Structure formats: C-alpha cells, structure tokens
C-alpha cells in the first residue's frame, strides 16, 4: 500500500488493509514516521500489516520535518508531491526485493512504470473520491491553454459517452408474456434513469401491456407483424395464442423477422440490443457494427449453468442413462441445486425443435456464445456462484440487474369478490396456490392438488387453468368436492393480482410453481410461508435453490414418475403452517432474513445503477 501523503488518503488505505488482513492476506504499508505513530492503534492486524517507514526527502521551500499535508499549507502541497516523487529509487528497490502480487497507489503515477520494469507485479489505482469525479475530470485530454481559454459551460460539460450520457436500447424478448413482462420491467427501471428504450412486440401484446409502460415518453413500443406460418392459427402472436405443441411454429415466425429487425437496427443504430430467444441478433449487430448485444436471462441462473454448459449430440443424450443425463457439467458450483435421476426427462426439452431446423439448446447456447455480455435477473448475494460459473464457462462478462421487482400491481382485489372473501378468515390462515399463466395440469394431478388443499383443513384460494382435456375447472373437480369445501375454498381460472394477494393479511402460505418471477415476489415482497411445487426444469432448480441453499421453503415430494399426491402436498403445507414445527420456524426465520436484505433501502436501486455503469463500460471495450 503506497497512498498519497495525506491522512485523508492514508486512513482509507489502512481501512482497506484491515479488511484484507481480516481474510488472512499480508500487507506492507508505506508511510512516513509521524503518520506511523499516529495510526499505530488503527492497525488492527499488526501480525499481517507491517508498517514500512518512508524518510521524506527535504525539498527546497518545504518546512523541515514536513511529512504529510497536515504539516504544510495548501500552497506548499506541490513541494510535498515533489518530495514523494523523489522516493522513486527507494520504492523501486523495495518492490524489487519484496516482489509483491499487487501495489495499491493513488498519486504516485510512476508506480506502474516500476512494476512493468520489474515484472510480475500488478498495480491498482485505488480511487477514494466519488467515481463521478474521475468520470467527469479524467475522461478528457485538453491542452492547458485550450482549457483555460474555454467557457465555463465548456469546462464543466461531461465528456462524451460518460456515465451521464443516456443510452439507446432495443428490447426484443421472446413472444411470451412471461418474457415480455420482465423485459418491460427492466425497461421501466432503465427509463427511470433517463435512458431511451425501443421495445419490439406484437400488436396484441402492445395493447395488453400499454398500462405497464410507466415511461411512455422514453419507452417506445414498435409493433411487429408476426408472419403467418403454415399450421399456426391466424392471428397468433404470442405463446398465449397457441398450445405448447405449436410454439415451435411461433419460433419459426419470429425467425422470419430477421430482415425486418436488421433494417430496424440499421436505421436506429442503438447502443445495445437485449434479446433472449432470437439467437441471430448478435450476427446482425456484428454485421451493422457499433451495436452491443446482451443475452438477458430471466430464468434461474442455475438453469443456464446446468443446461447450457454441455454440448452433447441429441443422439448421444437420448441414448445415455438417466444418471448421465442429470449429471452436472464439470465445475458446476452446487451439489444441492441439481436434478434427480427420475427428473432426467425434464432435460429432454433441450433437444426439441423450437423453430425450423433449430433446437432449444442450439437457440439458447448460440445466443450466450455470440453475445457481448450476459445479463442475469438476479443478485450476487443469492446466485453469484452460478453467475461466476457462467462467466467462466462462456468467457463473457456477466451483469446483474438485480431481481427487478414490481413497485405495485394494478388490479383491484374486489374483482371476483376476492377482498371480501379473504377478509372472512383469520390473519395468516389462507393457503394461496397459483401455477402461472402457461402451466396446464393433467386431470389426475389437478384432482390430487385440490384434494391435497382440502386435506390441510385450511381455507385456500387456487388460481389454475382448466386441466388437459377439460373445458372448465368445475367439470374437472372430484365428485362432491365443491359441496365439501363450500365457502372455505375458492378456485379461479383467470388472471388475479398475485402480489396483492400475497401481501394480504389473511394469506399465510403460498404454494408456488416456482416460476422465476413468483420466486422473487414471494422471497422479497411477502411474509408467507413457502411451499414449492415445480414442474419444469428451470422451476425445479429454483425450488432446490430455495429449499436446499436458502432454506426458505419446503418442496412437495414426488414419486419416480414426477407425480405428487394429495398426502405429500398436505404434508408440505402442514410442515410450514404448524406453529409448533421446528422446520416451519426455521424457514420462516430464514425467509425473514432474506426479505430484510432484499427490501433494504437502496438495494434494488444500487443494482440498477451498477448495471447501467457496466453498460457504459461495455461501450468502450
């Protein structure tokens, strides 16, 4: 450590040294004799932090014995800097003998020159001032005469492409509301900071999402006309318009937008394009030039780490055993956030055709391989190990947006009589169960689900689509079920304001399918006990993260065919809702701790600010 000869610099360098020494690292700290005496008591790890005394040379005009800025008026600090520069040979000899891994410095600009000459020493310029100061002051190179002759307005104008400059970003998410909405949520956060967004989406989606655009002066919706593909229903624009079996045709339709997207980007020339399923976007950006691409992953990072860091041929994968299929890739950072052997079939989706001549695996892996950076909808505190693994495996910068949680949710609870219905029950007594907008259960599983909720003896609210082969939820109910639950159970098959329900005082338990958006809402914004009932690959890994790593919920046990029973669902709910349950108390306390972290003032905002700073840094690479 070689700070400038001012206590306002020496003390912060010593504070950092204490933190590093706390982790067991050795520090050699260079400072004058008088400063050493004054700061001796601030050295908390004298066995690891060694003070090395510098004899400050006398320079004509400098008071005798002057060693720091505390010893001289501001007008003589220039002479003190000259004295420091005369330590060049002494510092060079010291570093030559010690050969440290790093030298931290600030004002001694010649340290880097010494390190290069010696070799094998890295230098870090440790900035104590606000980064904005460096950004506005140092990212310019005027001649002194030019600067002095310029106007006041010219002198204080931020440099081009500084952190203050505003970005032009294009958002092009997959044609599913489960993707469109998270992309729009991030757009709102970026627009809040003054950046301009061009959001590409189909006409019907534009109409539905209009009210979720909080900054229409900065977020511009650009309508995409989805081409008609043979076999695709006329007017189909999103996954909400087609069954799962026809999504591959929708992907083909999206791919046929290639020329339209290329023309749009060529005309707009944005700084960035954010995409997910349109793996050909980086190819267009490279051809046009000057556009950076970000693959924005809105699923659990463990899913990308587990699924995409492998490159088996389809024939090899299909022929492999269940144990081989679910074996994590080399270096995967967890032994608990994994799939079990009987869940091997969950990975088979990777090799399904998703668009003409391309599998899901090829589509997703090509996107992360060719993009300039990968953005994750998460925070380091919870999923940083998976982000680091992805960065290492794909050799790409990984940026964190934070969870990007909603501030509020539109839609009154009065609809469907929800408010009055919930108010009838004791605080924390209602079980709320929701399965997202796309999941459709088989009839047998649907019946086990409703019977399991009945078995708990607790009031419940279930939001679910009609099961396979049925036209309505009511026709799929077990015989006599409706009469038995009467006012104690309410089942809906429509959209509801999930977050408002989760935060209602009567709701005490959330049975979730572990969609990534629901995972974050339940973890950060509500106090409910969590029961995890995943169905897809990414949902299953999210559930393992919450149960095994964070220990904030309990997963419903399934058999080797992936089926859950009414008894296993009831057991999981009782486990977390029983006030005498030791495990229930544990997950409640862990949930409370994580909610406190995630909802702490400035937590989310700091992630967005850092993300924007990372974007600016990408522009100059």
* The 3-state secondary structure of 67-132, one letter per residue: CCHHHCCHHHHHHHHHHHHCCHHHHHHHHHHHCCCEEEECCCCCHHHHHHHHCCCEEEECCCCCHH
Residue whose pair of structure tokens reads 């001032």 in the numeric block: 129
**Residue 263: closest CA among 179, 205, 200:** 200
497 against 529, higher pLDDT: 529
> Can you list the domains of the chain with their CATH numbers?
7-128 (3.40.50), 415-598 (3.40.50.2000)
Q: How far is Cα 525 from Cα 512, in angstroms, rounded to an integer?
A: 14
Q: How far is Cα 404 from Cα 596, in angstroms, rounded to an integer?
A: 16
Q: How far is Cα 293 from Cα 7, in angstroms, rounded to an integer?
A: 44
Q: Is the pLDDT of residue 331 over 80?
A: yes
What is the per-residue pLDDT across 11-62, written as a single tens digit (0 to 9) for each? 999 999 999 999 999 999 999 999 999 999 899 999 999 999 999 999 999 9
Angle at alpha carbon of residue 171, lines to 167 and 173, rounded to 5°: 160
Q: How far is Cα 237 from Cα 130, in angstroms, rounded to an integer?
A: 47
What is the per-residue pLDDT across 240-277, written as a single tens digit (0 to 9) for each? 899 889 999 999 999 999 999 999 999 999 999 999 99
Q: What is the DSSP string of 323-340?
A: HHHHPPPTT-S-SSSS--
Task: Give me the pLDDT at residue 254, please.
Answer: 98
What is the per-residue pLDDT across 288-304, written as a single tens digit (0 to 9) for each? 999 999 999 999 999 99
What is the per-residue pLDDT across 300-328, written as a single tens digit (0 to 9) for each? 999 999 988 876 677 888 888 889 889 99
Task: Give me the pLDDT at residue 439, please.
Answer: 75
Q: What is the DSSP string of 420-451?
A: HHHHTS-TT-EEEEE-TTT----HHHHHHHHH
**Residue 457: closest CA among 613, 338, 569, 602:** 569
pTM over 0.85: no
The Cβ-side half-sphere exposure at 246, using a 13 Å CA radius, reads 16
Q: Is the pLDDT of residue 64 over 70?
A: yes
What is the per-residue pLDDT across 374-397, written as a single tens digit (0 to 9) for each? 999 999 999 999 999 999 999 999
pLDDT-derived band at 154, boundaries 50, 70, 90: low
Percent of the chain with pLDDT strictly greater than 70:
94
Q: What is the DSSP string of 539-575?
A: HHHHHHIIIIIS--EEEPP--TTS---HHHHHHHHHH
Asked if 503 and 425 touch (Cβ cutoff 8 Å), the reply is no
Task: Return the SS3 of 403.
Answer: coil
Q: Is the pLDDT of residue 164 over 80?
A: no
Asked if 294 and 373 touch (Cβ cutoff 8 Å), the reply is yes
């Amino acid at each position: 450590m070689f700070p400038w000869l001012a206590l306002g610099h020496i003390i912060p360098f010593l504070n950092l040294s204490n933190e590093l020494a706390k982790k067991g690292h050795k520090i050699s700290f260079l400072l004058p004799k008088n400063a050493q005496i004054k700061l001796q008591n601030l050295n908390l790890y004298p066995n690891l932090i060694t003070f090395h005394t510098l004899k400050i040379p006398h320079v004509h005009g400098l008071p005798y014995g002057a060693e720091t800025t505390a010893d001289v008026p501001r007008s003589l600090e220039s002479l003190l800097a000259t004295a420091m520069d005369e330590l060049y040979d002494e510092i060079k000899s010291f570093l030559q003998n010690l050969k440290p891994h790093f030298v931290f410095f600030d004002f001694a600009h010649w340290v880097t020159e010494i390190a290069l000459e010696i070799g094998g020493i890295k230098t870090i310029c440790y900035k104590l001032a606000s980064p904005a100061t460096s950004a506005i002051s140092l990212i310019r190179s005027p001649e002194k005469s030019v600067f002095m002759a310029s106007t006041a307005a010219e002198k204080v104008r931020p440099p081009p492409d500084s952190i203050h400059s505003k970005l032009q970003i294009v958002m092009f998410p997959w044609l599913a509301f489960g993707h469109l909405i998270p992309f729009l949520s991030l757009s709102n956060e970026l627009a809040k900071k003054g950046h301009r967004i061009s959001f590409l989406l189909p006409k019907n989606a534009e109409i539905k999402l209009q009210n979720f655009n909080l900054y229409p002066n900065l977020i511009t919706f650009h309508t995409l006309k989805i081409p008609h593909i043979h076999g695709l229903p006329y007017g189909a624009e999103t996954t909400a318009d087609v069954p799962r079996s026809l999504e591959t045709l929708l992907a083909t339709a999206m791919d046929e937008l290639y020329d339209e997207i290329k023309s749009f980007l060529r005309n707009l020339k944005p700084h960035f394009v954010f995409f997910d399923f349109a793996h050909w976007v980086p190819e267009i950006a490279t051809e046009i030039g000057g556009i950076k691409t970000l693959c924005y992953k809105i699923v659990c990072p463990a899913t990308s780490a587990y699924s995409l860091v492998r490159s088996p041929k389809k024939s090899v994968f299909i022929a492999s055993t269940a144990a081989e299929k679910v074996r994590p890739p080399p270096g995967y950072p967890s032994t608990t956030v994994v799939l079990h052997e009987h869940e091997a079939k969950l990975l088979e989706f990777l090799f399904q055709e998703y668009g003409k001549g391309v599998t899901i695996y090829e589509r997703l892996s090509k996107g992360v391989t060719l993009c300039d950076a990968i953005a994750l909808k998460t925070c380091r505190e919870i999923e940083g190990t998976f982000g680091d693994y992805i960065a290492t495996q794909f050799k790409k910068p990984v940026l964190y947006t934070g969870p990007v949680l909603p501030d509020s949710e539109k839609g009154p609870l009065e609809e469907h009589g929800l408010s009055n219905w919930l108010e009838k029950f004791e605080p924390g007594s209602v079980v709320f169960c929701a399965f997202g907008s796309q999941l459709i259960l088989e009839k047998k599983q649907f019946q086990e689900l409703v019977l399991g909720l009945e078995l708990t003896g607790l009031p419940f609210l279930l939001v679910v689509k009609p099961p396979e082969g049925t036209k309505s939820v009511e026709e799929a109910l077990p015989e006599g079920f409706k009469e038995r639950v009467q006012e104690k159970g309410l089942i809906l098959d429509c959209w509801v304001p999930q977050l408002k329900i989760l935060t209602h005082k009567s709701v005490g338990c959330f049975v979730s399918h572990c969609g990534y958006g629901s995972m974050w809402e339940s973890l950060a914004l509500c106090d409910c006990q969590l029961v995890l009932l995943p169905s897809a690959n990414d949902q299953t890994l999210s559930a393992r993260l919450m149960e095994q790593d964070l220990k904030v919920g309990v997963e419903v046990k399934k058999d080797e065919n992936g089926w859950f029973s009414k008894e296993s669902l009831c057991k999981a709910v009782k486990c977390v809702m029983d006030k005498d349950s030791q495990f229930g108390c544990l997950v409640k306390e862990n949930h409370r701790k994580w909610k406190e972290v995630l909802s702490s003032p400035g937590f989310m905002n700091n992630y967005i600010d850092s993300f924007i700073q990372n974007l600016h840094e990408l522009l100059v690479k």
